[in-house]
Amino acid sequence: MRLADPRWLFALVPIFAAWLGWLWYQRRNALLPSASFSSLDAFADLRATWAVRARPWVVGTRYVAVALLFAALARPVASQGKKALTTDGLHIVLAIDTSGSMRALDLDAERSLEWRRTRLEVVRDVVTAFIEARVNDAVGLVVFGSFAFTQAPLTLDHALVANLAQRLEIGVAGEQTAIGDALVTAVKRLKDDKAKSRVVVLLTDGRNNAGSVEPQEAARLAKAYGVKVYTIGAARQGRAPMVVGGQLFYEDVDLDDDTLTAIAETTGGKYYRAEDATALERIYADIDTLEKDAIDAPEQHELDERYPLFVAPALFLLCCEALLLSTRLRTLP
């Protein structure tokens, strides 16, 4: 057994000592009650009763009780041994396109135009729900446009990643689309990982028109490191409405299905086409059934709090003192 918070003990011991000294000083200098008698011969054969002899000991239990409470404040704990926390999940990096074309309003086609969300807003809501539903999976986040960067490394802190995903803005990484660079950035986060199930989910609404790495080259790199890539094309067929600078106009959808399909097939993954928010939710639900792998967390000590062993007798002693001093051991005045 050890003290988890010993500084309380160090701080309170001098206070306890000062309190005892003050009580001793008061007792030494107190005026004791007295009565005058002409002779004490009548009391010569009197002996102190058990109550008189016991009273100092009962009062002394108060100090023992206070000492026990001080020990409880220092949080005595006992270790039950080490335990490795193992979780049954996968390591997954989400690569999200934030290029200028993600302003399109075609994934909410069932709504009137003034109430539609942009592609990125739809994606943010679906991805956030996907992340929050993870229980044992390590999740990372890569953002790409004209260039790619890691927004969140692999972590089990799903609330953090979900919050970062919900804050994504269009154009934060530039207006163009660097699919190859995004995939390489995501693979870098997974290439040295020891998990057997390592996955990249790459979502875009266009084709590769920026960056220094071709998508096919990035796919071969992912395959070499054993990283499976699932690709999602988030756009409807035809022309999509878009609002820029307060002006509404329509733009032809330029989604490169062939390249996204090739990336997925090269790495053993799958390509999905999402033309509305419901389809996007179904896609992430399907990806949720991926092969799982165990994630080993660092060993942690399981601690058993032992402060009740000190608090319970302290309260018992204080109650006994209060009861006895107010009844059988009561003194007058």
| Mean local confidence (pLDDT), 300-321 | 77
> Is the model's pLDDT at 303 over the cut of 70?
no
Cα dihedral sign, 96-99-112-245: positive
Query: For residue 76, what is the DSSP state?
Result: E
**Could you tell me the pLDDT band of residue 153, with boundaries at 50, 70 and 90?**
very high
Q: What gap in Å lies between CA 225 and CA 213, rounded to an integer?
A: 17
Residue length of the chain = 333
Mean residue pLDDT of the chain comes to 83
> Is the model's pLDDT at 290 over the cut of 60?
yes
| Mean local confidence (pLDDT), 282-305 | 65
> Is the model's pLDDT at 11 over the cut of 70?
no
Task: Write out the two tokens for 185.
Answer: 């950035």
From the list 89, 121, 110, 92, the residue with the least C-alpha distance to 284 is: 92
What does residue 149 show for φ and ψ, rounded to 5 degrees? -150, 160
Whole-structure pTM value: 0.62
Do 145 and 177 form a contact (C-beta atoms < 8 A)? Answer: yes
* Inter-helix orientation angle 50-73/308-325, to 10°: 150
Do 236 and 121 form a contact (C-beta atoms < 8 A)? Answer: no
| Mean local confidence (pLDDT), 298-316 | 73
pLDDT digits (tens, 9 = 90+) for 234-275: 999 889 999 888 889 899 999 999 999 999 999 999 999 999
> Is the model's pLDDT at 231 over the cut of 90?
yes
**Which residues are CB-contacts of 56 (< 8 A; sequence separation ≥ 6)?**
none
pLDDT digits (tens, 9 = 90+) for 169-202: 999 999 999 999 999 999 999 998 888 789 999 9
pLDDT digits (tens, 9 = 90+) for 69-128: 877 877 787 765 555 445 556 899 999 999 999 999 999 888 888 889 999 999 999 999
Task: Write out the two tokens for 207.
Answer: 């084709």
Query: For residue 192, what is the DSSP state?
Result: T
> Is the model's pLDDT at 300 over the cut of 60?
no
Q: What gap in Å lies between CA 227 and CA 57, rounded to an integer?
A: 75
What is the set of domains in the chain, with CATH numbers?
Answer: 2-28+47-75+307-325 (no CATH), 85-297 (3.40.50.410)
> Is the model's pLDDT at 226 over the cut of 50?
yes
User: How many CB atoms neighbour CB 73 within 10 A?
Assistant: 18
> Is the model's pLDDT at 13 over the cut of 90?
no
Cα dihedral sign, 137-139-215-277: positive
